[in-house]
Amino acid sequence: MKIGRQTHRASAISTSNEAAILVRGHDLCEELVGRISFTDHVWLLVTGELPSEAQRRVLDAVLVAIAEHGLVPSVQAARMTLAAAPEALQGAVAAGLLGCGSVILGASEDAGRLLHETVTRAESNKSMRAAASEIVGEYRAAQRAIPGYGHPLHKDYDPRARRLLAVASEVGARGRYTEAAQAIALVLPEITGKPLAMNVSAAIPATLLDAGYPLLALRGAPLLARTASLIAHLLEERTRPIGFVLSHAGAAAIDYDGRKPEGFVASDQ
């Protein structure tokens, strides 16, 4: 059974023969290993071109900013998974990444689309602020949340967002996407009646898109960064395990409110 398109049959990422492995046209061993950083390589893999100094520094800053944020759900899922299945580190990393979805880390791509739409409209004879105001109004009318603004802990500002924008300025990589992100921050209080600070999920696409990183690969950056964090947590889990403490505490926080025979007393979970 043939499902889907079958006409395109090529890939442009790498090839090899007995003498060499080519990655994006470069001889892996001769030109890349030992000569470029992992961040350069990520940029090369994703875009097909080696980054400029500014591009690499922006991507480094983003990956460092979002790798680790404590015992978030995806880290807990990974640590409980390793406790129960220690034979498969890759399974625990995978379980952790599966929680990097639309609610938590996935907001970067949604915010990137919002910024992209804002920049696109501002290109056609409209100020950035007018474009931002128009789009935020449309989101509100459709009762959609504005991705990348507001944070449960950091009410005033998200320090990672502020720092990412500062790094982009330092390396000279600020541009239209950051302008759009700031325009949205300005119009939000006018339209929603409350300040909603830009959070890291808007600062990531603003700085990466300004640097030339592709919109469609935005969700990859948090996944890569989170993989580093998961590896650190899973090494700790191997040496100082807390996976079953986490699951016991979770279970103890939940009551059973279903049917039960009269007089049934549940044991301590």
List the interface residues with a second copy, window 173-202 (CB under 8 A). none
DSSP string spanning 30-46? IIITTTS-HHHHHHHHH
**Given the complex with a second copy, which of 56 and 176 has the nearer CB atom?**
56
The region of 135-143, 176-184, 188-196, 258-266 touching a second copy under the rule CB under 8 A is: 258-266
Q: Which of 50, 130, 197, 217 binds a second copy (CB under 8 A)?
A: 217
Tell me: does residue 214 bind a second copy (CB under 8 A).
yes
Minimum distance from residue 221 beta carbon to a second copy (Å): 8
Sheet arrangement for strand 26-27: 14-16, 21-23, 26-27
Alpha helices for 144-219 (secondary structure H) = 159-170, 176-192, 200-211
Structure tokens at 234: 């899973």
Minimum distance from residue 171 beta carbon to a second copy (Å): 8
Contacts of a second copy in 62-81 (CB under 8 A) = 63-65, 67-74, 76-77, 80-81
Q: Which of 50, 106, 129, 130 binds a second copy (CB under 8 A)?
A: 106
The region of 118-126, 132-140, 183-191, 241-249 touching a second copy under the rule CB under 8 A is: 241-249
CA atoms within 13 A on the CB side of 171: 20
Tell me: does residue 113 bind a second copy (CB under 8 A).
no
Q: Is 58 helix (H, G, I), strand (E, B) or coil?
A: helix
Kind and range of the H or E element at 127? none
Cα–Cα distances (Å) from 70 to 74, 86, 169, 227, 261, in that order, read 10, 21, 28, 13, 41
**Given the complex with a second copy, which of 15 and 127 has the nearer CB atom?**
15
Q: Which of 18, 190, 194, 262 binds a second copy (CB under 8 A)?
A: 18
CB atoms under 10 Å from CB of 11, counted, come to 7
Q: Which of 104, 130, 186, 197 binds a second copy (CB under 8 A)?
A: 104
The region of 55-63, 126-134, 173-181, 190-198 touching a second copy under the rule CB under 8 A is: 55-63
Tell me: does residue 107 bind a second copy (CB under 8 A).
no
Structure tokens at 219: 């969700």
Tell me: does residue 159 bind a second copy (CB under 8 A).
yes
Kind and range of the H or E element at 254? none
Tell me: does residue 242 bind a second copy (CB under 8 A).
yes
In sequence order, the β-bridge partners of residue 198 are 149
Minimum distance from residue 122 beta carbon to a second copy (Å): 25
Give residues with Cβ within 8 angstroms of 186, minimum separation 6: 129, 132
